Every structure is written in structure tokens, then in C-alpha cells.
Amino acid sequence: MGIQSLIEQTPAWLSGEGEYPELVISSRARLARNLRAFHFPSQLDEDERQRVLEIVRDRIRMIPLFQDATFVAVRDLSELDRQFLIERHLMTRDLLKYADTAGLIYTEDETISVLINEEDHLRIQVMASGLALREVFQRVLDIDRKLGLLWPYAFHPEFGYLTSCPTNTGLGLRLSILAHLPGIVLTKHVDPLLKTLVKRRVGIRGLYGEGSDFYGNIFQIYTQETLGVTEEELLERFQATVDEILESERKARKILTGKLKDVLMDRIERARATLEHARLISFDETAQLVSFLRLAVGLGYYLDLKIRTLNELLLFSQPAHIQKLFGQDLDPRERDQKRASYIRAKLQAEAHES
């Protein structure tokens, strides 16, 4: 599945399937791993990094799961394609640090991707739609067992898996969810949430990583422990924390649909009207408005709208996606115009269907 054809599909992890997709957009597990035979990427020269890239590219095909996966060398990617793959969560901005010797491999449904020569030699990630932590956890560890046959990993009996950053040392495992929490935001419960998460050693940030705004009330919530816990304990604790967060989101929604129902309905109807009729719209505004539609669907209103459609609206409204959809370099104003017409068409098609 080449990059050009990706634009024609919706990644499986945004399908709107799985548990509570109106609250949890997707779940993810990622591992940081290094090859024993090489220094970490930051201490390698270009030739050695190239060597790591080739070893991984060639050997990973021995695993049936990756036989038909797509390999991409970052240096062959245009600026637009790089941005596009970042928006699609198939690669990270950090992969551009050693762009000339970095690569990525992804499966056709986009649920699995392996980044080569990011901060570590390997970043292995598995994603799934909705709340599916145990599924992504098991899949990533299964892939890890297989990749660990292809080359010796850097592992120390006392410290576990050795990684470039000491925050990953040990399990090298991070579990995360993309959660949609408009209730907590609208009832002003974000600060207590942040305080609870700090105590649990759980991190939180916006859709686009460190320091980014909470676009569309979407939060990345992720584990930070890699020492002192087993894989299974990490999963169970995180699952419990996520359950609690979702419970407070549900409580907040009860408040919104109680006394404040007319205010909420007003915001929701205005959001839908704007998306259906706007002629120019930014990504920020799209994310904010789509959040109200997602909330509405979660509350049982708007039965004609599918979560999958809302996921698609968010994904394809991002700047590089809009440009890939319309096949050209667009300036910001043209993008706003194309975005608005894409959204109008999408919502109209959905209304027709139902």
C-alpha cells in the first residue's frame, strides 16, 4: 500500500469500532528497542545508521506479518508526504532528526508501524480503534518476540531493555489512548484530572504532542513507568486509571444533560449547522465543532451520524491531508475553502445514506 493510496482509505484504528469509540478514539502500545551490535542512533555516523536501516529492512520480511508491509525511506519522502504520515500517526516528527537514514514500515491496515533510527533503532507501535488496551498490548509483545529473533536486542538483566532515553529504560513500553473528554473540559474538571494523573505517573498532552493545545477536547493519555512494574501490572494499572477517567467523563456528561441541557443543545446544533454550511474553515475550528458532534452521538442524539465519519472528518481535515485529497500545494486560505467543501460533502453523503 503505497503512500498515494493511503489517502483513499481510513486507517483501521479510526474505524469507530471497539469499545466506547465516542470516548476513546484509539488505543496504542509502543516499544522502544535497540540492536545490541550498534551504538544508539545519536552516536552512530551516517554509514552505520544506514547499515542499521538495511539490516532491519531486509530481515523484518522474514516475519510473515511484515511480508507484504510497505517500507519507506524517509529521505525519499517529499515535505508534504512527511507531514501527511505524521498526521496519520504512522511516523513521528522525531523520525526526521536523522531523515537521511531513517525509515518506516507499516502494514496495509495501518495498525502496525515500525520506525527505524528515530531516537532508538526501533520503535514498534500497534494501534486499534476504541478502548482496546489489552489487544494492542498483546499484539505489540507478540511482534516484539518475533523481532527479537532477528537480531540481539540491547538488554541488561538489571535494567531491562536499554534505550536512548532513561525514561524508557526497562520495559521500553508505553501504553496510550486518544481520549475525547468534552464533559471534563466543559465542566472545568481538567485541573483535578491533571493532578490525579501526576500521582499515578500517567502523562497527558494534546493531540499533537508536548505543549500542543487540547484540540477538539482530545487528549493523549499515556503511561510513564518502565521500571518497577511488570508488563501485565502496567497494563492493569493503566486500564484502571482509564476506567476512572471515563467514569468522570460520564458523570460530567450527566451534569451537562441535566440543568445545562438547553445550553448544550444550542452549542451542538450550532456546531452542526456551521460544519454543514461553512465556506471557509480552519482545522482548529473543525476539531472544536466535530467535538460537539461526537459528544452528541455519545449522548444518543444524531443517530444519523457515525463515529467513523467523525473520525474521518478530523483525520482528513488536517493540512497535509487536505492537500493530498485535492492533490496540490494549497495556501492556508485555499485549504480552508477545500476543507469546508470536503466537510459539507461528507455530511451530506452521510445524511443521504441514513
Partner 1 sequence: MLCEKCGLKEATVKLVEVIDGRRKVLRLCEICAEEVALAIPQPLVTEGEPTETEAIFTPGEEEGGVQPQTKRIIRELVCPSCGLSYETFLKTMRFGCADCYKAFRENLEVLFKDLHGTATYRGQRYRRNRKAYRLLKEKAKLESQLEVFIAQEQFEKAAEIRDRIQEILKELGWESNP
| Cβ-contact 55, 49 below 8 angstroms | no
DSSP alpha helices (H): ranges in 151-260? 182-186, 190-199, 231-257
Tell me if 320 contacts partner 1 by CB under 8 A: no
- Minimum distance from residue 79 beta carbon to partner 1 (Å): 27
> Of 13, 20, 40, 137, which one interacts with partner 1 (CB under 8 A)?
40
Residue 104: closest CA among 74, 127, 82: 74
> Of 45, 54, 148, 244, which one interacts with partner 1 (CB under 8 A)?
148
- Minimum distance from residue 124 beta carbon to partner 1 (Å): 14
| Cβ-contact 234, 123 below 8 angstroms | no
Query: How many other C-beta atoms are found inside a 10 Å radius of the C-beta of residue 80?
Result: 15
Angstrom distances, CA of residue 198 to CA of 167, 177, 221? 15, 16, 11
| Cβ-contact 48, 124 below 8 angstroms | no
Given the rule CB under 8 A, which of 32-40, 237-245, 277-285, 308-316 is the region that contacts partner 1?
A: 32-40
Residue 60: closest CA among 70, 75, 47, 50: 70
Q: Which residue's CB is nearer to partner 1, number 12 or number 325?
A: 12
Phi, psi at 179, each rounded to 5°: -110, 145
Q: 329: burial class by Cβ within 10 Å (0-12, 13-18, 19+)?
A: exposed
Angstrom distances, CA of residue 291 to CA of 54, 159, 287? 43, 42, 6
Tell me if 68 contacts partner 1 by CB under 8 A: no
- Minimum distance from residue 64 beta carbon to partner 1 (Å): 3
| Cβ-contact 94, 118 below 8 angstroms | yes
- Minimum distance from residue 154 beta carbon to partner 1 (Å): 4
Tell me if 210 contacts partner 1 by CB under 8 A: no
Tell me if 119 contacts partner 1 by CB under 8 A: yes
Given the rule CB under 8 A, which of 70-78, 166-174, 191-199, 304-312 is the region that contacts partner 1?
A: 166-174
How many residues touch partner 1 (CB under 8 A)? 48
How far is Cα 342 from Cα 274, in angstroms, rounded to an integer?
Answer: 13
Q: Which residue's CB is nearer to partner 1, number 36 or number 277?
A: 36
Query: Residue 304's Cα: distance from chain center in Å?
Result: 26
How far is Cα 338 from Cα 332, in angstroms, rounded to an integer?
Answer: 10
Q: Which residue's CB is nearer to partner 1, number 169 or number 187?
A: 169
Q: Which residue's CB is nearer to partner 1, number 9 or number 43?
A: 43
Tell me if 34 contacts partner 1 by CB under 8 A: yes
How far is Cα 176 from Cα 234, in angstroms, rounded to an integer?
Answer: 11
Scan residues 97-116 and list those touching partner 1 (CB under 8 A): none
Tell me if 93 contacts partner 1 by CB under 8 A: no
> Of 132, 229, 235, 314, which one interacts with partner 1 (CB under 8 A)?
229
Phi, psi at 17, each rounded to 5°: -90, 180
- Minimum distance from residue 150 beta carbon to partner 1 (Å): 7
Tell me if 54 contacts partner 1 by CB under 8 A: no
Given the rule CB under 8 A, which of 72-80, 220-228, 270-278, 337-345 is the region that contacts partner 1?
A: 220-228
Report which DSSP code applies to 173: E
> Of 75, 93, 156, 250, which one interacts with partner 1 (CB under 8 A)?
156
> Of 98, 161, 222, 283, which one interacts with partner 1 (CB under 8 A)?
161
Interaction site with partner 1 (CB under 8 A): 34, 36, 38-40, 42-43, 61-65, 119, 141-142, 148-167, 169-171, 173, 201, 225-231, 233
